[in-house]
Structures are given as structure tokens and as C-alpha cells.
Chain A
Amino acid sequence: MELDEFRTSLDAWLDEQEGALAPDHDGLGTLDEQMAQLTKVKRLTFDAGWMRWGWPVRVGGLGGTTLPRAYLGEALTSRDLVEPGIYSMAEVLAPTMIDFAAPELAATMVPRLLRGDETWCQGFSEPGTGSNLASLSCRAVRSHGGWRVTGQKVWTSLAQYSERCVLLTRTGSVESAHRGITALFVDMDSPGITVRPIESMHGVEEFCEVFFDDVAVPFDRTLGEEGQGWSVAMDLLPYERSTSLWHRAAYLHRRLQQLLDAAPPDTLDAAEVGQTTQLLYAFRARSRSTQHRLARGEDLGPETSIDKVLLATIEQAVFDLVGDGLASDLAIGDGTTSERWRTEFLYSRAATIYGGSAEIQRNIIARRLLDLGSDR
């Protein structure tokens, strides 16, 4: 389906289904409520076909370019039907499954994620391994009939809701760095897994610690080959920095518009509003070309770090304006609307930390785009 046709028919369907799609809660909702809402919206959009466009037929999709995926996320986000962060997890994890899982496994699993029948998480970071991903130590060893996994992950978003985890493990020696990593697709109900949510500053238990104590994972759940985990991670990260950011920008646009509607007179500085408006426009222009490159089948790589730096900058700029325009709501407001602004303001402080810190993105830009060589 062409993008224009998709856009027109999707918009009409969303208007028509407004009642069925609307959340049952007011405001931002608890994470439980957001997850329930996400499941509902994914199921309705999958069953009506919208969610299937832009995904390969072999994993239950309807084929075509990836542009409908970008537009669907934008439309759902703009209408405040889904929280963009949790919605976009599929954009990060499903492409990796399609590229690296055995075909039968991808064909079975991906539709469950897209339809909202399952939630998946991404087990990358560890307590001693934040930005230095290649130093991870959660170990997988070969045993009779499969891998045995022992170790710990942290900052694993939505692990407490997840049926599956895309997990990076150490299968080589500790010194093997990025060469000795293997990616596994793990059932989260396997014996030996413990999940402990962490309450973060914005009052949501989105991130978790995940403990693996001699967890059995069959060999056919290996993503790619043994020792190829670094390629899996490098394949995944550009997805994390492309379509999901397009969705996030749609959300920031909506929130900036809502701020303009809500801010009392003379609380917003014209120069700062002008600059944030321009940066948001610039991001969307940049991200649009990234989306079209993806749709043409081009491989995305380190240039998506520019998208990520821009988006993190803008997210904080938008909420810095919220801090000006709705200062007392943020500080002492206790109604649903104030709570929502406050939660999102606080979450925006992490925009330069999660998904590869602002420093790491600049390191990637320096090394890979400016060709400045190694930093050692």
C-alpha cells in the first residue's frame, strides 16, 4: 500500500474507532495501565491489518516499505493512544529477530510481539557494563542440550511484563571483548530468572534488574551464530535510533503544542520557543530522510547517532520550556495533569543517558562519521 493511501485510510479508521481505542484511564496512567492500553491498541491495529504493513510476509506482515510503520506510530502517538517509548520496543526488537533468528522462530514469535500478545525486553546493560557494552560478563556456557546462562542485567525496560528477552551473553573469554558475545532469545518464564523492578526518579518502575541463575536456553534460540552477538547488537542499535525516534518526535510535537496551550502569558521566552521549534522541525526533517532511506532498503548505521543526539537535545529543550511555562505545576501541582507534566519532565532528564549516552553518541560520530580514528 502506498503511504498516502495508508495515511488516509488509517486516519479514517482511527476516527471511526476512537471509542474502542481510547484509554480507560485519565492522564498518563500507571505503567500497568499503559501496558494494558498498549496491548489493546496493538491487537486492534494488528487485527485490522494496519500493524502488519511494512513487515515481511514471512513473519505475518503484509509486506511493502517500512514507511507505514513510521506513520502508524506517529498517528497513535499524536492521538495520545500509546506511550511512545513502550510502543516503539517492537521497532527495536522485531527487525533484529527477522535478521538473525532462525526463520521458523521469527515466523512464530514476531506476530505475537506485533499483535501485543507478548512483550519483549532487551537484555544488554549490566551493573558493570553501561556504555562499554563490549565488556559485558553475563555468561552462557554450552552444556548438554543447550546454553546455561548465569549473570545479571540492569536497566532492562519492561522485564516484569515480558515473555521473552533478547539477551547478550559472554560466551568467549573475558578478554575476547566484542568478539566473544552471543545473542540469545530467552523465555522469561524459564526457571532461574528473577526480575526486580527499580523505581526511577520519575516514579515509574519501567527499568528492572534481571538475575539469571543457571538458566537453560536451547541452542535453537541462538540469534545469529555463536560469537556473533556484537553484530546483532550493532544491527539493533540503528533501529533504536530511527523509527522509534520518529515516533518520539511526534509525541514531543504534541506536548510542545499542549504547553503552548497551557502556559500562562509571559512565561515562555520567545527566543527559546523559536529555537526549540526550529530544532524540532530540523529533527523531523532529518528523521524523515532516515525513514526514507530505511524504506529504500538502505542499511542504517552510525549516522543514526546524529538523529539520537538531536532528539535527546530537543526532548530536554521541550521540557526545559515546560519547566518555565508550568513551573508551579511541576513543583507543587498534585492533580492528574500536573503529575503527568512532572513525570515527563523528570523522564526527559534521562534522554541523554538511555539508549546510548550523549557522550557515546558523540564518540560514534567522531570515530565513524568524522573518521578521527581511535580515541586511544
Chain B
Amino acid sequence: MIDAAARELFERGIGHAFDQPTSEAVDAALGELGWHDALAADQRAAVSALFRRQGEVSATSSALDWLLASSLGADGAVVLPALGRWDPPGEVYGPRLRVNGLSRQSIGDRVVVVASARDKDIAFDVPAADLLLRPVHGVDPQLELLEITGETVDVDGQPLIGWEAALALGQLAVGHELVGASRAMLELARAHALERVQFGRPIATFQAIRHRLADSLVAIEAAEAVLDAAWLDRSPQTAAMAKAMSGRSARIAARHCQQVLAGIGFTTEHALHRYVRRVLVLDLLLGSSKALTRKLGSEVVASRQLPPLLPL
């Protein structure tokens, strides 16, 4: 664990890194800051500070890819699951490996593709040239996602342990990013509500406005509480709940804050639209709120068993 003073310095460094104009420059600044060392020293502090800030300023970086690679002990870029999914992005058919995944970083000559085969996971080292790499425009071009699809044959695979743990870590990271984005949207809407005057009063005096903002805060705090709990118990099930709650709270905040910001929030002249776009995609990344929630509910109904109680 790093101490409070070191953490403050580190968080300030993260803040400066995200002041850089491009994602390459952000990556370089995070490298200089020693984020990888921080990750080894205090995983929770390193992940929560970086991703919360990344969400707050609506930036992007290679940090999610690095996190999965570091968790899996992989040498090189690890392909993320396809949007909306959380299972490994590779599928094995005889000698062939089919790939359907994503990356948040620009990748080099080779990528690591994890595939599920029967009762184990396998990591394949795949030449990038064998795959189709499509820079994603989509609803949020500034997220700079790369879609990675295609098929390859006769590649070397190594048995791999730890997909579940790497996925859980990734879900917590994206969860923090969603909470950061939600808090930023709430602050934008709050500032607007205090300034915007209608009927001779700031709209912040109207209960309909106040309650939307209050509901946004309640949703955000609930998500943050599950993120905290997931860092304590380190259970994959709790991490999935944290991801689901973070996605849900971001959608709630986006809906309420956009309504409070009204016309101006629907224009590209105001910053809100960047967050609205961002959370639409981040909710889907590593499992959407809806899908993860339904999966949990199906398991609970089938097993008639609630998740273990978080101890006092």
C-alpha cells in the first residue's frame, strides 16, 4: 500500500497525464509517471485513480489493455471481448481460431487472443496481419476503439489461468471510469441548474430538477459502494455487480443530466454529449448493466441462493 502523501502525488500525476492532447501522449505520460509500478504496489489505488480520472475528463488510453495484459501475465496486447460480452474473444474450431474482439490501444505486430476450449482457457499469440483491424467510428469516435475480427490457423497456444480474475479487474476499471463520467455529468448539470434562470428563478430551485439530480447522486453512490466492496472481497461475482451498477448509474445520470441541461445539453457546443456517448459504449464494454443483471438474476433464481452477505 502506498501512503496518503504518495497517493496524492500520484493522483496529481494522473491528472496531468490526462491533460495531454492525444491518447498516445496520455499513454506516454502514464508510462513516465510509473503507473505500471504503482499497479504492482497498490492495485486498487492505481486502478481507481486512473480510471476515475479517465472517466471524469472523458479521455482514453491503453490502460485497460495494459491492465488485462498485466493480470494475465501476457507479453503484448490482449484482445478484449467483443462489445456487450465478457467471455474470451477467441473460439477454437479444430485447427482454426476465430477472433471477435476489441482493443483500446493501437497494436503492434502480434496480439494475444484468449479462447475458451472445453474446460480450460488458451492464450494464442497471433500475427496482427492475419486479422481484420477496423478503427471504430460509431457513436463515440473519440474512444478510439479498434475492432479485431477474423480467423487464423495453426497458431501456437498456451494454457492460461486467470481469465476470470483479469475480467473482474477490467470490470472494476471500467466501473470506475463510468462513475467518473457520471460524476462529471452530474457536476455539469448542477452548475447549469444554478446558473440558468427561468420564471425569474434559477431552475435549481425547482423540485423536479432537484430530485433528478438527487436521484443521480443516489445511483452513483450506490455504484461506488459496490466498487468499494468488490475491492474488499475480490470476488468475480461482486466485480460483475459493480460493473452492472456502474453502467446503470451512468445511464440514470445521463438521462437526468441531459434533461436538466435541456437544449444546450443536446448540442455539441456543450461538453455533455461526449459523456453521453462515452457511457453508452462503456456500459457495453465487458458486459452491459442489463445483461450482467439478467445473468445474475437467472443464477439466483435457479440456485435459490443470494450472493454471500458482505460482512460488517
Contact = CB atoms under 8 A, between A and B. Distances in A.
Interface string B212-250: 011101100111011011000000001001001100100
Range for the number of chain B residues in contact with chain A: 35 or more
A363 B207 contact: yes
Contacts of B223: 282
Contacts of B245: 278, 282
Contacts of B290: 271
Contacts of A147: none
B273 interface: no
Range for the number of chain A residues in contact with chain B: 35 or more
Contacts of A120: none
A373 B300 contact: no
Given A282-B225, A286-B221, A365 B214 contact: yes
Contacts of A279: 222
B312 interface: yes
Interface stretch (A17-25, A35-43, A254-262): A254-262
Given A306-B218, A362-B214, A366-B214, A260 B305 contact: yes
A253 B213 contact: no
Contact of B193 (A270, A286, A288, A372): A372
Contacts of A253: 306, 309
B306 A256 contact: yes
Nearest to A314: B222
B244 to A, nearest CB: 6
A71 B226 contact: no
B194 A372 contact: yes
Contacts, number: 141
Given A291-B312, A373-B202, A273 B300 contact: yes
A306 B249 CA distance: 14
Given A366-B213, A372-B194, A269 B218 contact: no
Contacts of A306: 217-218, 221
Given A70-B312, A306-B217, A285 B293 contact: no
A70 B211 CA distance: 30
Contact of A257 (B222, B226, B306, B312): B306
A288 B306 contact: no
Q: Is the interface of B mostly helix, strand, loop or mixed?
A: helix
A369 interface: yes
Nearest to B206: A375
B34 interface: no
Contacts of A366: 210-211, 213-214
B31 to A, nearest CB: 34
B294 A271 contact: yes
B96 interface: no
A269 to B, nearest CB: 7
Q: Is the interface of A mostly helix, strand, loop or mixed?
A: helix
B113 to A, nearest CB: 30
Contact of A286 (B215, B222, B244, B293): B222
A153 interface: no
B293 A71 contact: no
Q: Most chain-A CB neighbours within 10 Å: which of B218, B305, B309? A: B218
A115 interface: no
Contacts of A367: 210
A113 interface: no
A375 B193 CA distance: 12
Nearest to A265: B301
Contacts of B292: 274
Interface in B159-174: none
A261 B304 CA distance: 6
A376 B206 CA distance: 8
Contacts of B4: none
B207 A375 contact: yes
A277 B307 contact: yes
Contact of A271 (B202, B221, B241, B297): B297
A370 interface: yes
Contacts of B205: 373-376
23 contacts: A3-B312, A253-B306, A257-B304, A260-B300, A270-B297, A277-B307, A281-B238, A282-B223, A283-B222, A284-B309, A285-B228, A288-B229, A306-B218, A362-B210, A362-B214, A366-B210, A367-B210, A371-B190, A372-B190, A372-B193, A372-B194, A373-B202, A375-B210
* The 7 A-B residue pairs with the shortest CB-CB distance in the complex, in nearest-first order: A274-B297, A366-B210, A270-B297, A285-B225, A274-B293, A285-B229, A273-B297
